[in-house]
Amino acid sequence: MDRSRQVADTPLGQIVLLNGTSSSGKSRIAAELVQLLDDTYFLMAVDAFHAMRTRRDHQPEELEAALRRTRAGFHRAIAGMAAAGNNVVADHVLSERWRLDDCLAVFEGLDVVFVGVRCDLDEIARRELARRDRPIGLAAEQLEHVHADAIYDVECDTAITSARDCALQIKDFLSNPTEPSAFERLRRAPK
């Protein structure tokens, strides 16, 4: 990380990055985690960034470019909060390799705990039907890609573990992290 981005005399914040498909339970874990952690953490969700965008009809290529800029901006907002000394819990869907690569580059020099949020397809499909705010089948499309290139510090399975218990598992890891971190190992891994 370029130290010129760091706020003078302020220690860098920590990033807890949750990665999983839509409807996998990331948002619930994140909400539980910010309540359980002793230090102050900001909850930053990619869905919140998408909700800030003006709603209008886009041509497919225009929409794809807007989505890419939104996701790249989201990564930089997380890094900016951490560079200013804020701790962040962020939930994301890293279903394209460029998203992970961008996070690896943008979060360089920052303390990142990478959490894989898994859930079986049947349960995700049930949740999608119940939510009614996502296209049915979106998570199934993401499932093949979202964990394909990832190495995690912590993994949770929300089909068999409650959001609170997943958050407690992450909190326990934060008390006793392993080295090197998943992001450090990912940076060294061949592509």
Mean pLDDT of all residues in 163-187 = 96
- Expressed as residue numbers, the domain containing 29 is 3-186
Q: Judge whether 11 lies within some domain.
A: yes
Q: Judge whether 191 lies within some domain.
A: no
Q: What is the model's pTM?
A: 0.89
Q: Judge whether 128 lies within some domain.
A: yes
Q: Judge whether 124 lies within some domain.
A: yes
Asked whether the predicted pLDDT for residue 4 surpasses 60, the reply is no
Q: Judge whether 150 lies within some domain.
A: yes
Q: Judge whether 88 lies within some domain.
A: yes
Tens of pLDDT along 54-75? 777 777 778 888 888 999 999 9
Q: What is the rounded radius of gyration, in angstroms, for the C-alpha atoms of the chain?
A: 16
- CATH number of the domain to which 26 belongs: 3.40.50.300
Q: Judge whether 38 lies within some domain.
A: yes
Tens of pLDDT along 81-92? 999 999 999 999
Q: Judge whether 23 lies within some domain.
A: yes
Asked whether the predicted pLDDT for residue 170 surpasses 70, the reply is yes
10 Å CB burial of residue 1 (0-12, 13-18, 19+) is middle
Asked whether the predicted pLDDT for residue 139 surpasses 70, the reply is no
Number of domains comprising the chain:
1
pLDDT interval class at 137 (50, 70, 90):
low
Which of 14, 17, 30, 15 has its CA nearest to residue 158?
A: 30
Helices 163-175 and 26-36, packing angle to 10 deg:
50
